[in-house]
């Protein structure tokens, strides 16, 4: 098929971007063709058309360029990549307009404000396997963050998966051909189905150049494989974003030596930053503690919750600041009032860096700068080290405030190419052209009145559009009065448009001024942006300290609002909590009071709490509570308790609840055993382990055996502080100097029971399962029958043959018994003969004859011969 020059140009560009949907600029539209058009029409709800008239052979669709952002956001959020091909030649020049791709937008590189959730990072990550090491590198170009981690040893893949689940990136780059590629894809499909994959065959060639370009000598990744991973990621970002990325200059190494490790299971089970229902923030620990006033603060709080500390000195620095703020209501209120005026510094600065900032961003920046002096003054002379560091790290930008006050209008438009963004009085040349433009509008009004008088056409009006310029519009009813020197320019449904020589001369003069105004404003804006860009690193430092202050103030507000107390941090291996409360559940309970409970775990008196009691009584809530309070303390937060002494733990493990992993084909029991295996493999003496109802996914004796063996293994080999809830009362005989029995207090009155939600020493003597079934609304006949069966089993030593029969079962048994008796009375001779046969020495014909004879004999004995 012969293609037009334009389609040849399209196909040449598309060949360079086969994996992206190509947005091909044509005038005021972005057009898509062929397979891209089919995909875009399906995902964006666009109508397919065709220049040739055959939609099936030559499909195309398009979107207005001024509305492209919303369409791009929608399709990128579905995991697609978009290449933007712009007209870079003069559209008015003869011949084919030159076009080329100016940027590629992917899920991990999108910068449109509407596409980014302010409280979440938008990470892109890269995985690279080399020399029995797995390297993870990542960045959020919207905030300027970069990180890398190197994982070795037998648990390297689990550590990698845990980190990927934490960062929850929308795009993952796979460098090379990792040996675990299949498992990695299965994990991504199961935990983050919206993640897009990008494959890169080998590291970039200019590794050292990219590392030196972005990071100073103190910020560079350690080791060649880490440098290759980081540089390849940076190379990909340069190839896609195609703009200045020098704001990616601070490198963080992921090193869990300084952090409490939270694996994927624990992060999910405890609902720390994402709930189990839909993965959202609602009803999570983050939701409860989030009193931050800035997007930067919310993102930092999320990081603190996912990476708690283990160093007591660092934890106490945070607690000191929270205590100082929580005890000063006036200071806290004034800080929050000022902080609320601060926009998302990090993303504002990124838009300035990459050249996508508009005048509204500058207004937001000015408002943010104006809030800083009050905050700095409020932090003057504070006692805690972190507040002192915030005071020192927050810089003032009075020169920028003055510049932006003089230059940018208070309510600018969205685009910087249409003018209307620079204030009067800022630039003399701009003011002169504006005067011409204003005078021109007056002249235009006078010209319209003059033409009305001269022609007698009262409905005549002078208008303007970008396509035809200025024109005189006359309704069809008045065309008979149109003078001969009017030249027809356009015919409309109910009017005609004309041009005159005088109007042409006016257009040249006025449009020259309008064009000059727009160009001058654009250039002035670029100068202002570049002036601020020169101090980007300094402003980024201020943004970081504002985020820290916001989190500390928010934690203090939570402590005050919820009546939290400061935990005491010690290194004696003890967790001692008095009247602890579950931070999430107590917020949800609006009508009932939450029943507080104590927890005392150590390596001398109670290493394992063995908790028995009925379901629904609160065992799981209590265990989660202990884990969450420990985690909150290590974050640097006050906690819901009367008092608490906590020794930092190195890891928190949880095995809670039942869930099928259907995507990977694993049953509830297999998921449970996988989680238990992880715990027994990696838990240490300094870990906190939460195990809930181990073994219930299999038979009673299997499950009880597994539960007992797990407890014994932890007791004899690991010695981690452990909360172990079980409905197998038989394991309570394990109580010794380090294993202590506890149960949920229950109040009984006849067949009615009340769960008191209180943890007390001792073991439960009943499971109360039938009581719970009754509360759940099972039919009365079912629960009554269950009670009879339970009584028989308890009385007869759990023999199945002692279970009382129902009336239907008794009737069926009476009918069946005569036949059963007959079979036992008359079947002995046949049985004796069968037992005496040597089957292995019989020929086939002998076997057939014998079987026929035995059948005849059986018929005679049964009276059927």
Domain of 229, CATH number, reads 3.30.420.110
Q: Mean pLDDT, to the nearest integer, of 325-338? A: 94
Q: Mean pLDDT, to the nearest integer, of 729-753? A: 78
Q: What confidence tens digit (pLDDT) does each residue in 622-666 have?
A: 999 999 999 999 999 999 999 999 999 999 999 876 544 433 445
The answer to the question of residue 432 being in a domain is yes
Q: Mean pLDDT, to the nearest integer, of 1-26? A: 86
- Answer with the one of 105, 133, 160 that is the final residue of a domain: 105
Highest-confidence segment of 232-236, 564-568, 781-785:
564-568
Task: Tell me whether residue 673 is annotated as binding.
Answer: no
Q: The tokens of 149 are what?
A: 């981690």
| DSSP single-letter state for residue 47 | P
Half-sphere exposure of 365 (CA within 13 A, CB side): 31
Same domain, yes or no, for 99 and 144?
Answer: no
Task: Tell me whether residue 205 is annotated as binding.
Answer: no
Going by pLDDT thresholds of 50, 70 and 90, the confidence category of residue 821 is very low
Q: What confidence tens digit (pLDDT) does each residue in 127-154 have?
A: 999 888 999 999 998 888 899 999 888 8
Same domain, yes or no, for 352 and 449?
Answer: no
Using CA atoms, how far apart are residues 394 and 547, in angstroms rounded to an integer? 11
Q: The tokens of 431 are what?
A: 């003011």
Domain containing residue 606: CATH number:
3.40.50.300
How many CB atoms within 10 Å of residue 168?
Answer: 18
The answer to the question of residue 773 being in a domain is no
Using CA atoms, how far apart are residues 85 and 74, in angstroms rounded to an integer? 18
Using CA atoms, how far apart are residues 461 and 473, in angstroms rounded to an integer? 5
What average pLDDT does the structure give for the chain? 85
| 3-class secondary-structure state, position 53 | coil
Block residue for tokens 């928190």 = 652
| 3-class secondary-structure state, position 425 | coil
Sheet holding 29-33, edge to edge: 60-64, 29-33, 21-26, 82-87, 99-105
Going by pLDDT thresholds of 50, 70 and 90, the confidence category of residue 603 is very high
Task: Tell me whether residue 619 is annotated as binding.
Answer: yes
335: nearest Cα among 308, 375, 277, 289: 375
pLDDT at 776 > cutoff 70: no
Using CA atoms, how far apart are residues 301 and 550, in angstroms rounded to an integer? 9
Same domain, yes or no, for 318 and 371?
Answer: yes
Q: How far, rounded to the nearest angstrom, does the alpha carbon of residue 229 sit from its chain's CA centroid?
A: 23
Q: Residue 742 pairs with which residues in a beta bridge?
A: 611, 761
Same domain, yes or no, for 174 and 101?
Answer: no
The answer to the question of residue 715 being in a domain is yes
The answer to the question of residue 271 being in a domain is no
Task: Tell me whether residue 613 is annotated as binding.
Answer: yes
Going by pLDDT thresholds of 50, 70 and 90, the confidence category of residue 241 is confident
CA distances from 857 to 370, 848, 851, 852, 861 (A): 107, 14, 10, 9, 6
pLDDT computed for residue 825 by the predictor = 41
Going by pLDDT thresholds of 50, 70 and 90, the confidence category of residue 65 is confident
Q: What confidence tens digit (pLDDT) does each residue in 151-177 have?
A: 888 888 888 988 998 888 889 999 988
Going by pLDDT thresholds of 50, 70 and 90, the confidence category of residue 699 is low
Same domain, yes or no, for 135 and 59?
Answer: no
Q: Residue 469 pairs with which residues in a beta bridge?
A: 465
pLDDT at 745 > cutoff 80: no
Going by pLDDT thresholds of 50, 70 and 90, the confidence category of residue 826 is very low
| 3-class secondary-structure state, position 765 | coil
Asked whether 407 and 401 are in contact (CB, 8 A), the reply is no
The answer to the question of residue 731 being in a domain is yes
pLDDT computed for residue 698 by the predictor = 66
| 3-class secondary-structure state, position 646 | strand
Using CA atoms, how far apart are residues 449 and 453, in angstroms rounded to an integer? 6
Same domain, yes or no, for 694 and 828?
Answer: no
Start-end of H helices in 394-478: 398-407, 428-455
Asked whether 251 and 230 are in contact (CB, 8 A), the reply is yes
Q: What is the pTM of this model?
A: 0.80
CA distances from 121 to 37, 108, 740 (A): 31, 10, 44
596: nearest Cα among 635, 639, 636, 634: 639
| DSSP single-letter state for residue 161 | H
Is 457 exposed, middle or buried (CB count within 10 Å of its CB: 0-12, 13-18, 19+)? Answer: buried
Task: Tell me whether residue 616 is annotated as binding.
Answer: yes
Highest-confidence segment of 238-252, 530-544, 615-629, 810-824:
530-544
Q: Mean pLDDT, to the nearest integer, of 538-554? A: 95
Q: The tokens of 223 are what?
A: 């080791």
pLDDT computed for residue 616 by the predictor = 62
Sheet holding 643-646, edge to edge: 568-569, 643-646, 575-580, 597-601
Using CA atoms, how far apart are residues 718 and 739, in angstroms rounded to an integer? 13
Q: The tokens of 755 are what?
A: 């769960």
Q: Mean pLDDT, to the nearest integer, of 54-59? A: 80
Give, for 502, the enclosing helix (H) or strand (E).
helix 501-533
Q: Residue 262 pairs with which residues in a beta bridge?
A: 652
Give, for 201, the enclosing helix (H) or strand (E).
none
Same domain, yes or no, for 604 and 724?
Answer: yes
pLDDT at 863 > cutoff 70: no
pLDDT computed for residue 663 by the predictor = 39
The answer to the question of residue 90 being in a domain is yes
Same domain, yes or no, for 692 and 730?
Answer: yes
Domain containing residue 76: CATH number:
3.40.1170.10
Q: The tokens of 163 are what?
A: 């980190």
Q: The tokens of 426 are what?
A: 């800022």
Going by pLDDT thresholds of 50, 70 and 90, the confidence category of residue 729 is confident
Q: What angle do CA 119, 123, 128 make, to 5 degrees?
A: 155
Using CA atoms, how far apart are residues 118 and 854, in angstroms rounded to an integer? 84
The answer to the question of residue 708 being in a domain is yes
pLDDT at 751 > cutoff 70: no
Which residues constitute the domain of residue 842?
813-861
Asked whether 361 and 349 are in contact (CB, 8 A), the reply is no
Q: The tokens of 565 are what?
A: 């107390």
Q: The tokens of 39 are what?
A: 């995909």
Half-sphere exposure of 594 (CA within 13 A, CB side): 20
Same domain, yes or no, for 554 and 581?
Answer: no
How many CB atoms within 10 Å of residue 384?
Answer: 19
How many domains, the chain? 6
Same domain, yes or no, for 220 and 307?
Answer: no
Going by pLDDT thresholds of 50, 70 and 90, the confidence category of residue 99 is confident
Q: What confidence tens digit (pLDDT) does each residue in 432-464 have?
A: 888 877 887 788 888 899 999 999 998 899 988
Helix/strand/coil percentages in the chain, nearest 5: 50, 20, 35
Same domain, yes or no, for 13 and 72?
Answer: yes
Task: Tell me whether residue 640 is annotated as binding.
Answer: no
Ramachandran bin of 791, using left for φ above 0, alpha for ψ from -120 to 50, beta for the remaining angles: alpha
The answer to the question of residue 403 being in a domain is no
Asked whether 39 and 80 are in contact (CB, 8 A), the reply is yes
Domain containing residue 358: CATH number:
1.10.1420.10
- Answer with the one of 54, 83, 105 that is the final residue of a domain: 105
Q: What confidence tens digit (pLDDT) does each residue in 409-428 have?
A: 998 887 888 888 999 999 98
- Answer with the one of 53, 73, 105 that is the final residue of a domain: 105
Q: Mean pLDDT, to the nearest integer, of 296-320? A: 95
Give, for 146, the enclosing helix (H) or strand (E).
strand 145-151
Task: Please provide residue 480's backbone torsions phi and psi, each rounded to the nearest 5 degrees.
Answer: -65, -25
Q: What confidence tens digit (pLDDT) does each residue in 386-407 have?
A: 999 999 999 999 999 999 999 9
Using CA atoms, how far apart are residues 55 and 34, in angstroms rounded to an integer? 9
Same domain, yes or no, for 307 and 438?
Answer: no
């Amino acid at each position: 098929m012969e293609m037009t020059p334009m389609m040849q140009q399209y196909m040449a560009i598309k060949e360079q971007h086969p994996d992206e949907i190509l947005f091909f600029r044509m005038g005021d539209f972005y057009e898509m063709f062929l397979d891209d058009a089919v995909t875009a029409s399906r995902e964006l709800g666009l109508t397919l058309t065709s220049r040739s008239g055959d939609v099936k052979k030559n499909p195309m669709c398009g979107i207005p360029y001024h509305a492209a952002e919303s369409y791009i956001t929608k399709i990128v959020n579905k995991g697609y990549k978009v290449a933007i091909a712009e007209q870079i030649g003069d559209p008015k020049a003869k011949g084919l307009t030159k076009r080329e791709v100016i940027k590629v937008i992917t899920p991990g590189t999108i910068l449109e404000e509407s596409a980014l959730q302010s409280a979440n990072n938008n990470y892109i990550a890269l995985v690279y396997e080399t020399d029995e090491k797995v390297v993870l590198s990542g960045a959020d170009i919207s905030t300027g963050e970069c990180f890398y981690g190197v994982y070795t040893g037998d648990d390297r893949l689990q550590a990698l998966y845990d980190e990927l689940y934490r960062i929850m990136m929308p795009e993952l780059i796979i460098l090379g051909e990792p040996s675990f590629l299949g498992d990695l894809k299965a994990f991504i499909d199961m935990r983050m189905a919206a993640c897009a994959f990008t494959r890169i065959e080998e590291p970039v060639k200019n590794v050292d150049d990219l590392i030196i370009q972005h990071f100073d000598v103190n910020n560079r990744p350690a080791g060649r494989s880490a440098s290759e991973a980081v540089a390849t990621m940076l190379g990909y970002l340069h190839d896609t974003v195609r703009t200045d990325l020098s704001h990616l200059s601070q490198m963080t190494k992921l090193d869990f030596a300084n952090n409490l490790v939270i694996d994927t299971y624990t992060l999910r089970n405890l609902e720390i930053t994402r709930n189990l229902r839909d993965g959202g923030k609602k009803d999570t620990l983050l939701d409860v503690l989030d009193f931050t006033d800035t997007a930067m603060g919310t993102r930092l709080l999320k990081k603190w919750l996912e990476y708690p500390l283990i160093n007591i000195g660092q934890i106490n620095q945070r607690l000191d600041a929270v205590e100082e703020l929580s005890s000063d209501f006036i200071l806290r209120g004034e800080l929050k009032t000022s902080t609320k005026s601060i926009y998302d510094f990090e993303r504002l600065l990124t838009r300035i860096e990459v050249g996508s900032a508009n005048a509204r961003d500058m207004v937001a920046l000015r408002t943010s700068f104006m809030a800083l002096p009050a905050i700095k003054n409020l932090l003057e002379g504070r006692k805690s080290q972190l507040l002192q560091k915030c005071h020192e790290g927050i810089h003032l930008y009075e020169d920028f405030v003055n510049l932006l006050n003089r230059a940018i209008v208070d309510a600018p438009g969205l685009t910087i190419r249409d003018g209307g963004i620079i204030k009067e009085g800022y630039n003399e040349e701009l003011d002169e052209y504006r005067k011409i433009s204003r005078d021109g509008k007056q002249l235009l009004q006078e010209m319209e009145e003059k033409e009305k008088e001269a022609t007698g056409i009262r409905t005549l009006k002078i208008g303007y559009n970008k396509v035809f310029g200025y024109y005189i519009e006359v309704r069809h009813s008045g065309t008979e009065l149109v003078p001969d020197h009017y030249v027809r320019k356009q015919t409309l449904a109910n009017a005609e448009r004309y041009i005159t020589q005088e109007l042409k001369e006016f257009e040249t003069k006025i449009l020259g001024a309008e064009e000059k105004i727009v160009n001058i404003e654009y250039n002035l804006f670029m100068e202002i942006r570049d002036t601020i860009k020169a101090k980007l690193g300094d402003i980024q430092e201020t943004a970081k300290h504002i985020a820290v202050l916001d989190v500390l103030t928010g934690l203090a507000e939570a402590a005050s609002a919820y009546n939290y107390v400061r935990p005491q941090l010690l290194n004696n291996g003890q967790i001692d909590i008095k009247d602890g409360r579950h931070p999430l559940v107590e917020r949800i309970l609006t009508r009932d009071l939450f029943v507080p409970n104590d927890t005392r775990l150590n390596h001398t008196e109670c290493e394992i709490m063995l908790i028995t009691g009925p379901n629904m009584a609160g065992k799981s809530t209590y265990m989660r509570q202990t884990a969450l309070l420990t985690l909150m303390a290590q974050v640097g937060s006050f906690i819901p308790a009367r008092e608490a002494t906590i020794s930092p733990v190195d890891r928190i493990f949880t095995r809670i609840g039942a869930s099928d992993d259907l995507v990977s084909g694993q049953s509830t029991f297999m998921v449970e055993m996988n989680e238990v295996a992880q715990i027994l493999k990696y838990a240490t003496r300094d870990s906190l382990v939460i195990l809930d109802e181990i073994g219930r996914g299999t038979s009673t004796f299997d499950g009880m055996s597994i539960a007992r063996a797990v407890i014994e293994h932890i007791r004899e080999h690991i010695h981690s502080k452990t909360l172990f809830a079980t409905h197998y009362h038989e394991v309570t005989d394990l109580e010794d100097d380090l294993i202590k029995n506890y149960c949920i207090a229950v109040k009984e009155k006849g067949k009615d029971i009340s769960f008191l939600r209180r943890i007390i020493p001792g073991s439960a003597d009943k499971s109360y399962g039938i009581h719970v079934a009754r509360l759940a609304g099972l039919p009365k006949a079912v629960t009554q029958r269950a009670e009879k069966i339970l009584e028989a089993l308890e009385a007869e030593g759990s023999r199945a043959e002692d279970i009382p029969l129902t009336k239907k079962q008794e009737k069926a048994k009476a009918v069946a018994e005569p036949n059963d008796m007959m079979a036992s009375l008359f079947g002995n001779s046949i049985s004796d003969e069968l037992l005496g046969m040597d089957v292995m020495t019989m020929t086939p014909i002998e076997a057939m004859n014998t079987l026929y004879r035995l059948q005849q004999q059986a018929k005679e004995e049964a009276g059927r011969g």
